[in-house]
Amino acid sequence: MASVVLTVPDLSCDHCERTVKSALGPLPGVQSVSVDLATKQVRVAYDDGVLTVDRMKEVLGAEEYPVASSVRI
């Protein structure tokens, strides 16, 4: 399992949190998604043999939540 922290500057409310979780949660390989509105960060635990960070960025971009940066942890 791998983890990544995605910085998403447009996160600001509970609706944003629900949208991000519902967009990333069902993706194959995702184990968990947590959103921290205060830091505008999304932490995803996932199987990097099934899912890539680029795919997560694509999905969030399609939901109009572009990712500014990502750090694998």
Total domains, the chain? 1
The pTM of the full predicted model, rounded to 2 decimals, is: 0.95
d(CA 72, CA 10): 20
CATH of the domain at 49: 3.30.70.100
Per-residue pLDDT at 63: 97
- Domain span at 46: 2-72
pLDDT at 44: 98
What are the pLDDT digits (tens) for 16-73? Answer: 999 999 999 999 999 999 999 999 999 999 999 999 999 999 999 999 999 999 999 9
Cβ count within 10 A of residue 10:
14
- Three-state helix/strand/coil letters over the chain: CEEEEEECCCCCCHHHHHHHHHHHCCCCCEEEEEEECCCCEEEEEECCCCCCHHHHHHHHHHCCCCCCEEEEC
Q: What pLDDT digit, counting tens, does each position of 4-14 carry?
A: 999 999 999 99
